Amino acid sequence: MEDLEQRGKLKKVLKEVFMPLVEHQDMMQARLEKRVFDEVEDETGDYNIYATLIPRNKLKLLDDLLFPILEEDEEESEYDPKEMLEQLREGEDVIVSKFF
């Protein structure tokens, strides 16, 4: 279109036709989002935590349920009694054993 007046009229007509559609689409999208989020339960704090005590040699490293929390817990640790006594005298925490 070369005529500026025709372009202006076309723009006005298209705006009048499509703006209500866009507004309607936005409103329907917001309603759908609200409905979906209202149906989805908030799972915060709804997890079950399972714990057990087993010998380290019975721990299966490919178990889906039972596994060490930290990777370094898989390794056998050696404890120096003299170092532990010194830590206790200084008021520090001492790890005596790890549980799985």
pLDDT along the chain (100 residues), means of 10: 82 90 93 87 70 74 70 74 89 73
pLDDT of the residue at 79: 79
- Domain map of the chain by residue range? 1-47, 48-100
Do residues 66 and 54 lie in contact, with contact meaning Cβ atoms separated by under 8 Å?
A: yes
- Give the alpha-carbon dihedral of 65, 68, 74, 77, to 10 degrees: -140
Rounded to the nearest 10 degrees, how much is the dihedral formed by the CA atoms of 52, 57, 63, 68?
60
- Compute the chain's Rg from CA coordinates: 33
| Ramachandran sector of residue 23 (left: φ over 0; alpha: ψ -120 to 50; beta: rest) | alpha
